[in-house]
């Protein structure tokens, strides 16, 4: 194999990095200068670690006015918001004519998830010019003309800290609503980004569409040095002073943590809900498999892998050792990607991974059987290795690609309600098959070439060690 030392170096780097990622006590990536604040951990699905089940219903008084299309559109937005939080394998379905059921696997912040999926997401840029000391402060609940038009004649806001009742929106001192300059419909995109002013300080960066850009640019250009409030669902987030004409893009500031900024960005990016929702019920769901069942499943998987490794080493000897090492690399790379992407692990997802291990072993068996045929035909060891890999390659990639196509079909099918767990199976299966194209050929061949380089003469004198 040409350049096997190069590939051996690459493989060693991969092993060291993936070993660090899969290490149980991995500290994650927390680099303030680069804006990295990520925990690297295993994400378990609802069936493995439990989670939450939320039943949402239309705000009282609106149920009779909801059409099927509006409820379905609301469900789709809630689903996108949930996926935006990174909660894969979630189930979002309509129930009856005015309810939506949401199952959230392994959420770590209940209040954050609830506020993200429930909030109407009505973002407003409100004119505060000329108010002086009478201007509302951050956290106040104010009444605007956009709220009256889009939500209710008497809108309310979420309770303040320490309170249990929703707050009544307050108008201006003269009893009139505050004037909304532009709503979130004028936004094109929104992303949470580090503020650059300290650890865990974040802002929401937004871009304007053509309609919003015209409105925003005209207003900010004519109100320089005047305050303009940023209001979400009636609550004042901040009221910065306009420093210059704003066109194209801008930022929302408000002393956000990373979670708060991401939640706000998700709401703005995926739009307001056509139907305002309230929580009808909230339940904490225990793992359906139970801790004992999970432990037994993991133990069974480990035993299965060890059995496969023992078979490969016993039957194929030296090539089996190379295959066993490659299989360990295969498992480490897969598990590292599960943590980095991240992929929610459910029982079907684990099943997909185990099947991909079988496929990885199958590729090595094809290679080694071709090698044995070449050795028996009188080829030299180096030639037999080269021909074994070259002639088995077409069978390996065609079988893997055909299975990847099936996995893709399962992935598409899993997007429909009732089959979401199929997605986890399809994702881990396809990921394993793609990685196998690298490990079964490049990694196994590199390890085998290394073994032959250091023990080639010894192996040539003992063909049995090659399984021939």
Predicted pLDDT at 26: 84
Does the structure show a pLDDT above 90 at 170?
yes
Please report, to the nearest 10 degrees, the dihedral formed by the alpha carbons of residues 51, 86, 158, 198 taken in order: 120
Tokens of 405: 């196509």
Q: How far apart are CA 422 and CA 348, in angstroms?
A: 7
DSSP string, 142-181: B-BHHHHHHT-SS-EEPPPTT--SPEEPB--TTSPPBPEE
Does the structure show a pLDDT above 90 at 36?
no
Does the structure show a pLDDT above 80 at 401?
yes
**Residue in 372, 360, 389 with CA at minimum distance from that of residue 316:** 372
Q: Which domains does the chain have, with CATH numbers?
A: 4-29+289-466 (1.20.1640.10), 51-285 (3.30.1360.200)
What's the CA angle centered on 260, arms 89 and 53, to 5 degrees? 35
SS3 of 23, please? coil
Which phi and psi angles does 291 have, rounded to 5°? -60, -40
DSSP string, 44-79: E-HHHH-EEEEEEEEPTT-GGG--HHHHHHHHHHHH
Predicted pLDDT at 266: 73
Is the distance from CB of 441 to CB of 389 less than 8 angstroms?
yes
Does the structure show a pLDDT above 90 at 49?
no
**pTM for the predicted model, two decimal places:** 0.62
The residues that bridge with 125 in the sheet, in sequence order, are 182, 230
SS3 of 11, please? helix
- Stated length of the chain: 468
Is the distance from CB of 452 to CB of 317 less than 8 angstroms?
no
Inter-axis angle of helices 318-340 and 420-438, nearest 10: 140
Q: How far apart are CA 323 and CA 308, in angstroms?
A: 10
Q: How far apart are CA 356 and CA 328, in angstroms?
A: 13
Predicted pLDDT at 120: 58
**Digit-coded pLDDT (tens) for 305-357:** 888 889 999 999 899 999 999 999 999 999 999 999 888 788 888 889 888 88
**Digit-coded pLDDT (tens) for 424-465:** 889 999 999 999 999 988 999 999 999 988 887 787 777 777
Is the distance from CB of 468 to CB of 379 less than 8 angstroms?
no
Predicted pLDDT at 67: 74
Percent of the chain with pLDDT over 70: 85
**Digit-coded pLDDT (tens) for 356-381:** 888 888 889 999 999 989 888 888 88
Predicted pLDDT at 288: 65
Sheet architecture: strand order including 202-208: 187-194, 202-208, 249-256
Q: How far apart are CA 172 and CA 453, in angstroms?
A: 84
Predicted pLDDT at 90: 72
Q: Regarding predicted confidence, which is higher, 226 or 81?
A: 226
The pLDDT confidence band at residue 1, using thresholds 50, 70 and 90, is low
Report the helix count and the strand count for the chain, using DSSP H and E. Answer: 13, 17
Is the distance from CB of 318 to CB of 466 less than 8 angstroms?
yes
Percent of the chain with pLDDT over 90: 30
Predicted pLDDT at 320: 92
Q: What is the mean pLDDT of residues 411-417?
A: 69
Mean pLDDT taken over the chain: 83
- 443: which DSSP letter? I
Predicted pLDDT at 181: 94
Does the structure show a pLDDT above 60 at 244?
yes
**Digit-coded pLDDT (tens) for 255-296:** 778 877 877 777 667 666 767 777 888 877 777 666 676 677
Q: How far apart are CA 450 and CA 325, in angstroms?
A: 12
Tokens of 203: 């802002």
Q: What residue has token string 């409820």?
A: 71
Is the distance from CB of 118 to CB of 279 less than 8 angstroms?
yes
Does the structure show a pLDDT above 60 at 88?
no
């Amino acid at each position: 194999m040409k350049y096997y030392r190069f590939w051996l170096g690459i493989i060693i780097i991969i092993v060291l990095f993936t070993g660090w990622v899969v290490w149980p006590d991995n500290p994650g990536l927390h680099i303030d200068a680069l804006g990295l604040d990520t925990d690297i951990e295993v994400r378990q699905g609802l069936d493995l670690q439990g989670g939450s089940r939320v039943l949402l219903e239309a705000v009282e008084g609106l149920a009779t006015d909801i059409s099927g299309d509006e409820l379905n559109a609301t469900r789709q937005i809630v689903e996108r918001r949930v996926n935006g939080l990174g909660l894969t394998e979630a189930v979002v379905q309509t129930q009856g004519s005015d309810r939506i059921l949401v199952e959230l696997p392994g959420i770590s912040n209940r209040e954050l998830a609830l506020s993200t999926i429930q909030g109407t997401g009505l973002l407003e840029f409100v004119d505060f010019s000329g108010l002086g000391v009478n201007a509302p402060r951050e956290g106040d609940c104010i009444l605007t003309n956009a709220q009256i038009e889009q939500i209710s004649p008497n809108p309310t806001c979420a309770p303040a800290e320490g309170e249990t009742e929703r707050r009544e929106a307050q108008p201006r001192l003269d009893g009139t609503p505050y004037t909304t300059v532009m709503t979130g419909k004028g936004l094109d995109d929104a992303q949470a980004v580090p503020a650059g002013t300290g650890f865990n300080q974040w802002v929401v960066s937004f871009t304007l569409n053509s309609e919003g850009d015209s409105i925003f640019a005209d207003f900010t250009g004519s109100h320089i040095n005047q305050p303009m409030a940023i209001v979400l669902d009636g609550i004042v987030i901040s009221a910065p002073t306009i420093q210059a004409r704003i066109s194209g893009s801008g930022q929302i500031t408000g002393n956000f943590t990373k979670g708060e900024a991401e939640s706000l960005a998700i709401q703005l990016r995926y739009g307001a809900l056509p139907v305002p929702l309230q929580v009808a019920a909230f339940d904490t769901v225990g793992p359906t498999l139970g801790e004992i069942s999970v432990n037994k499943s993991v133990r069974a998987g480990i035993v299965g892998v060890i059995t496969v490794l023992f078979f490969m080493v016993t039957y194929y000897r030296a090539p089996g050792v190379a295959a066993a090492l490659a299989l360990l690399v295969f498992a480490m790379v897969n598990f590292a990607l599960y943590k980095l992407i991240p992929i929610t692990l459910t029982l079907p997802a684990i099943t997909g991974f185990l099947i991909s291990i079988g496929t990885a072993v199958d590729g090595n068996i094809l290679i080694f059987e071709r090698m044995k045929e070449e050795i028996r035909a009188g080829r030299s060891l180096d030639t037999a290795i080269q021909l074994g890999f070259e002639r088995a390659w077409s069978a390996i990639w065609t079988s893997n690609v055909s299975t990847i196509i099936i996995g893709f079909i399962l992935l598409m099918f899993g997007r429909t309600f009732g089959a979401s767990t199929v997605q986890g199976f399809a994702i881990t299966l396809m990921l394993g098959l793609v990685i196998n194209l690298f490990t079964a050929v490049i990694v196994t061949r590199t390890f085998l070439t290394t073994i032959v380089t250091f023990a080639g003469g010894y192996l040539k004198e003992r063909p049995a060690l090659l399984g021939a």
